[in-house]
């Protein structure tokens, strides 16, 4: 066992929130703090590297905290204050000051101008070197003990580190949660979030590649109701796209409890009311009375989807002229309330996060300090906070890390 060294702050976890908090602590402190990052794996910032398909979706173009928090199924209320203090605008300005410029995509996602996550990694690692922040890789922290206003940290190899403050920035993996539990914190159950939906229906899989620009999804699990709007994409295993990823995040816990079996209602034409659709379809009777229904898709519905929707009717009329008012009303209902059977959870390789983590009521969101253990701080996904896809998860990491850095700096000062 090596002799223990004394640090001002030890950051457990060399991910997005760990690196940003270590750098922020050095920026915000009047004295040069002695900071150590302990990272379990061989390389830091591995998620940043693969994020956004290698492009790193750093944040989202939504600068009003009240609107921004609507993208966090967990953490909605708690993040409002912190986002006022350090939101996307502050983060983008910070990146710009370090020479990392960005661009905003049509859907609001923000990426580095280079479109390379390596630019973000370089920005962080350069600053870590400049501030002489020590980083130890392949160092899995297994124990954190509080004693006489100091923390003693032990890694899996038996090395010890003494510190005035400790930040748990361990992400969604259990190792950090175990440490938090030992220090008295409650950790909620953990479930995967942000995923696609599987279908066993071959006719749905045959629609693979087809997309709808704007649908509305509804799901009811037990007494809970969920909804989401946005583009939808048919895939060779079921459905995906922003609307699906969003509803999957909001219903992550309930879907896990049903083993990912549920009914999903799809409104393929959310901008048209039922009566509008019925009227438009009825007018087709006059416009093209002799034409077959299948060969004349209506309402801008793509041909393949239109044929698929009609294939569900056993009594499909041969032409528009023969379509009764009652049939058209049933067809309208099918378009507006299509019932999709979710038969499993699919992957979304661009992003996935953990739903669940350290109980938020046990954390002071003005400093990210534990309410149970002085000098213990939290940032990022280790908390019971997660966002939908689009840059919101990194924003949570940046916001909580910056506030934790200020909290740690004040805590370190209190020792003087």
Q: Give the orientation angle of helix 325-336 with respect to helix 303-310, to 10 degrees.
A: 120
| Dihedral sign computed on CA atoms, order 367, 368, 373, 376 | negative
- 253-269 residues labelled b (16+ CB within 10 A) or e (exposed): bbbbeeebebebebbbb
Q: Kindly state the smallest distance separating residue 107's Cβ from ligand FAD, in Å.
A: 13
Interface residue with ligand FAD among 50, 190, 256, 282 (CB under 6 A) is: 50
Smallest distance, ligand FAD to C-beta of residue 145, A: 14
Closer Cβ to ligand FAD, 13 or 73, answer by number: 13
207 vs 353 by CB, closer to ligand FAD: 353
340, two tokens: 């999709």
Distance of CA 32 to the CA centre of its chain: 34
Whole-number minimum distance, CB 278 to ligand FAD, in Å?
A: 42
| Residue 33 is a binding residue for ligand FAD (CB under 6 A) | no
**Farthest-apart Cα atoms in the chain, separation:** 89
Contacts of ligand FAD in 372-391 (CB under 6 A)? 380-382, 391
Cβ 110 vs Cβ 58: under 8 Å: yes
Q: Determine if 62 is a binding residue for ligand FAD (CB under 6 A).
A: no
Q: Is 47 in the site for ligand FAD (CB under 6 A)?
A: yes
User: CB of 218 within 8 A of CB of 264?
Assistant: yes
Q: How far is the CB of 381 from ligand FAD (least distance, A)?
A: 4
Among residues 36, 40, 62, 368, the one that binds ligand FAD under rule CB under 6 A: 40
**Identified binder of ligand FAD from the candidate list 22, 24, 35, 39, rule CB under 6 A:** 39
Piece of 78-86, 165-173, 216-224, 262-270 that binds ligand FAD (CB under 6 A):
165-173
- Cβ neighbours of 350 (radius 10 Å): 15
Nearer to ligand FAD, 47 or 246 (CB): 47
Quick one: CA torsion of 251, 252, 258, 261, rounded to 10 degrees?
Answer: 80
Q: How far is the CB of 355 from ligand FAD (least distance, A)?
A: 11
22 or 305, CB closer to ligand FAD?
A: 22
Instruction: Name the closest residue to ligand FAD (Cβ).
Output: 15
Residues 340-369 that bind ligand FAD (CB under 6 A): 350-353
| Shortest Å distance, C-beta 394 to ligand FAD | 3
Q: Is residue 394 within the footprint of ligand FAD (CB under 6 A)?
A: yes
The two three-digit tokens of residue 310, written as one number: 């009609």
Query: CB 215 → ligand FAD: shortest distance, Å?
Result: 23
In the region spanning residues 9 to 28, those forming contacts with ligand FAD, defined by CB under 6 A, are 12-18
Residue 267 binds ligand FAD (CB under 6 A): no
Of 52-60, 228-236, 281-289, 308-316, which segment contacts ligand FAD by CB under 6 A?
52-60
Binding mask 103-142 for ligand FAD (x = CB under 6 A): -------------------------------------xx-
**Which residues lie near ligand FAD (CB under 6 A)?**
12-18, 38-41, 46-47, 50-52, 56-57, 140-141, 169-171, 173, 175-176, 350-353, 380-382, 391-394, 397
């Amino acid at each position: 066992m090596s002799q223990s060294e004394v640090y001002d702050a030890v950051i457990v976890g060399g991910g997005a929130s760990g690196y940003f908090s270590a750098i922020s602590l050095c920026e915000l402190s009047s004295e040069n703090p002695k900071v150590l990052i302990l990272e379990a794996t061989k390389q830091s910032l591995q998620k940043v590297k693969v994020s956004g398909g290698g492009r790193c979706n750093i944040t989202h173009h939504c600068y009003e905290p009240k609107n921004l928090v609507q993208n966090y199924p967990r953490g909605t209320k708690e993040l409002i204050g912190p986002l006022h203090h350090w939101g996307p605008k502050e983060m983008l300005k910070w990146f710009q000051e370090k020479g990392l410029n960005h661009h905003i995509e049509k859907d609001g996602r923000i990426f580095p101008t280079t479109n390379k996550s390596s630019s973000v990694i370089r920005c962080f690692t350069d600053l870590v070197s400049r501030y002489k922040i020590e980083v130890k890789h392949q160092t899995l922290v297994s124990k954190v003990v509080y004693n006489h206003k100091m923390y003693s940290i032990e890694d899996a190899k038996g090395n010890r580190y003494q510190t005035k403050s400790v930040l748990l920035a361990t992400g969604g993996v259990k190792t950090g949660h175990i440490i938090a539990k030992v220090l008295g914190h409650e950790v909620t159950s953990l479930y995967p979030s942000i995923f696609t939906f599987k279908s066993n229906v071959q006719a749905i899989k045959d629609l693979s590649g087809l997309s709808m620009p704007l649908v509305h999804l509804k799901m009811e699990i037990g007494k809970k109701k969920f909804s989401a709007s946005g583009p939808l994409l048919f895939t060779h295993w079921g459905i995906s796209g922003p609307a699906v990823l969003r509803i999957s995040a909001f219903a992550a816990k309930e879907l896990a409890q049903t083993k990912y079996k549920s009914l999903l209602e799809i409104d393929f034409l959310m901008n048209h009311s039922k009566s509008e659709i019925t009227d438009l379809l009825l007018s087709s009777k006059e416009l093209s009375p002799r034409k077959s229904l299948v060969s004349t898709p209506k309402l801008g519905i793509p041909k393949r989807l239109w044929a698929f929707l009609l294939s569900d009717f056993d009594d499909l009329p041969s032409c528009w002229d023969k379509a009764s008012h009652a049939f058209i009303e049933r067809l309208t209902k099918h378009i507006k309330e299509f019932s999709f059977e979710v038969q499993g959870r699919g992957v979304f390789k661009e992003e996935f996060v953990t739903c669940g983590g350290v109980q938020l009521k046990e954390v002071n969101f003005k400093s990210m300090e534990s309410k149970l253990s002085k000098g213990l701080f939290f940032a990022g996904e280790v908390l019971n906070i997660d966002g939908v896809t689009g840059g919101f998860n990194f924003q949570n990491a940046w916001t909580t890390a910056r506030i934790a850095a200020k909290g740690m700096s004040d805590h370190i000062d209190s020792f003087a």
